[in-house]
């Protein structure tokens, strides 16, 4: 199986031993505590699940700046996006060496992790803008990732963590949420060696379905992991529970048995385009995938990135930086001429009117009005689930 990033073995920070975990919970109750923000909680979940191997916790400002500027930590580990614990409130943790991190996403703010505090550093607005410019390619507050980043806080709390649970993802998405450890085990149990990953924050329409099928066939892959984001999204995106139902229905009906694994990961969407595509590839390597489908405007939003910037950035990093490879996909759509889904760059005799293409806005309008989506665009079983959601 493909090696984890920067390590011979996966390094999950979740404390798996039950007795050790109970002792840490007891200790945590006596420690100064910090209610972290949702972005930091998602980082903790990813660290706990082994997705962020080989990191051992939250980065210092030095690492954050180095990652933003060169995509390397100060120790030289390739990493495309800073993994930070930012806050505006440090009064209760000043001068202490060990703290409990409390979950902002569950009522009562239960303990999520324990952290050894190695540093508390001020981050100026100027430095924050400089990091944002390099990571997101913009400082525009209208960008959903920037608007969140700017509100996270002006103090950087860094140090290693021990993760005690996986927040709301375990309960709310039981059977779907999986750690990198678990996915590697599932891949190994199936005997897969060449494994494609498909990233999604949306329900899968016909074009997405066919991209998965095309990638599997052209790569001669043993199977595909449809890996959906389960964390926070921007306003207007489809809730994770609805996406989960849509994707499972599509796979059950339209893919061969034992050719697809459907699961998800606990992370908040960044909308960081090319940099986030690199992060997606890195943690898919950690979960055992050998290839990641990277399509048009991968992890993008609005007009902040070029259509294929998320593909070309892989050509800009040194060879061998990541072991996982990408399957570079074009925009896919149903061809009325050929009566099938195609990658649009592969057909040369088509005009725009020869395709069935619906914008996200138009899809939402049709569903809200109770109008069925064209069968060329969406499988009827998937469209039915979406219509129930919008009608309710």
Residues 177, 197: Cα–Cα separation, whole Å: 15
21, 202, 213, 364: the catalytic one is 202
**Burial class (CB within 10 angstroms; exposed 0-12, middle 13-18, buried 19+) of 167:** buried
Where does residue 151 fall: left (phi above 0), alpha (psi -120 to 50 degrees), or beta otherwise?
Answer: alpha
Q: What kind of fold does domain 18-167 have according to CATH?
A: Sulfate adenylyltransferase (3.10.400)
Cβ atoms of 326 and 291 within 8 Å: the answer is yes
Find, among 257, 249, 261, 313, the residue nearest to 287 by Cα.
Answer: 261
Provide the pLDDT for residue 312: 97
Question: What separation in angstroms does the CA of 311 have from each of 212, 268, 307?
Answer: 17, 22, 9
Cβ atoms of 103 and 110 within 8 Å: the answer is yes
Provide the pLDDT for residue 368: 85
Query: What's the pTM?
Result: 0.95
pLDDT one digit per residue (tens) for the chain, 392 residues: 999 999 999 999 999 999 999 999 999 999 999 999 999 999 999 999 999 999 999 999 999 999 999 999 999 999 999 999 999 999 999 999 999 999 999 999 999 999 999 999 999 999 999 999 999 999 999 999 999 999 999 999 999 999 999 999 999 999 999 999 999 999 999 999 999 999 998 888 999 999 999 999 999 999 999 999 999 887 777 888 999 999 999 999 999 999 999 999 999 999 999 999 999 999 999 999 999 999 999 999 999 999 999 999 999 999 999 999 999 999 889 999 999 999 999 998 999 999 998 777 788 888 888 888 999 999 999 999 999 998 88
Torsion of CA 152, 155, 159, 161, to 10 degrees: -40
Provide the pLDDT for residue 237: 78
Provide the pLDDT for residue 187: 98
Provide the pLDDT for residue 184: 98
Cβ-proximal residues to 344 (8 Å cutoff; 6+ apart), any chain: 330, 331, 332, 333, 350, 355
Q: Which CATH class is domain 176-265+271-391?
A: alpha beta
Read off φ and ψ for residue 104, nearest 5 degrees: -80, -10
**Residue 201 appears among annotated catalytic residues:** yes
Provide the pLDDT for residue 359: 72
CB count in 10 Å sphere of residue 108:
6
Where does residue 159 fall: left (phi above 0), alpha (psi -120 to 50 degrees), or beta otherwise?
Answer: left
Provide the pLDDT for residue 211: 95
Residues 380, 392: Cα–Cα separation, whole Å: 18
Cα-trace Rg, the chain? 21
For the chain, domain boundaries = 18-167, 176-265+271-391
Q: 3-state class of 160 per DSSP?
A: strand
Provide the pLDDT for residue 238: 83
201, 213, 248, 364: the catalytic one is 201
Find, among 378, 392, 342, the residue nearest to 250 by Cα.
Answer: 378
Cβ-proximal residues to 39 (8 Å cutoff; 6+ apart), any chain: 84, 86, 148, 149, 152, 268
Find, among 315, 195, 352, 202, the residue nearest to 260 by Cα.
Answer: 195
């Amino acid at each position: 199986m493909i090696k984890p990033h920067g390590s011979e073995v996966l390094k999950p920070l979740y404390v798996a031993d039950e007795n050790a975990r109970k002792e840490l919970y007891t200790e945590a109750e006596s420690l100064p505590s910090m209610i972290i923000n949702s972005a930091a909680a998602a980082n903790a979940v990813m660290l706990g699940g082994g997705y962020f191997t080989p990191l051992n916790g939250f980065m210092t400002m030095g690492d954050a700046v180095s990652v933003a500027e060169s995509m390397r930590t100060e120790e030289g580990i390739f990493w495309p996006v800073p993994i930070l614990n930012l806050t505006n409130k440090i009064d209760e943790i000043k001068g202490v060496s060990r703290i409990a991190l409390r979950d902002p996403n569950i009522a009562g703010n239960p303990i999520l992790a324990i952290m050894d505090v190695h540093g508390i550093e001020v981050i100026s607005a100027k430095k924050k803008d400089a990091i944002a410019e390099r990571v997101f390619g913009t400082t525009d507050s209208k960008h959903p990732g920037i608007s969140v980043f700017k509100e996270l806080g002006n103090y950087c709390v860094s140090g290693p963590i021990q993760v005690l649970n996986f927040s709301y993802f375990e309960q709310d998405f039981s059977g779907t949420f999986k750690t990198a450890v678990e996915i590697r085990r599932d891949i190994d149990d199936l005997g897969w060696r060449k494994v494609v990953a498909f990233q999604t924050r949306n329900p899968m329409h016909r074009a997405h379905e066919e991209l998965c099928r095309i990638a599997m066939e052209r790569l001669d892959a043993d199977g595909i992991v449809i890996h959906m984001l389960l964390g926070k999204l921007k306003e207007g995106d489809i809730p994770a529970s609805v996406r989960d139902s849509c994707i499972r229905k599509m796979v059950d009906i339209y893919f061969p048995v034992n050719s697809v694994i459907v699961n998800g990961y606990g992370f908040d969407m960044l909308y960081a385009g090319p940099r986030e595509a690199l992060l997606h590839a890195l943690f898919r390597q950690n979960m055992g995938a050998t290839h990641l489908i990277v399509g048009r405007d991968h992890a993008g939003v609005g007009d902040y990135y070029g259509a294929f910037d998320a593909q070309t950035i892989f050509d800009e990093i040194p060879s061998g930086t990541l072991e996982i490879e990408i399957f570079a996909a074009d925009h896919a759509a149903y061809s009325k001429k050929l009566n099938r889904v195609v990658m649009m760059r592969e057909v040369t005799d088509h005009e725009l009117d020869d395709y069935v293409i619906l914008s996200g806005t138009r899809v939402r309008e049709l569903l809200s009005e109770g109008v069925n989506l064209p069968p060329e665009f969406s499988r009827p079983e998937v469209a039915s689930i979406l219509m129930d959601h919008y009608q309710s």
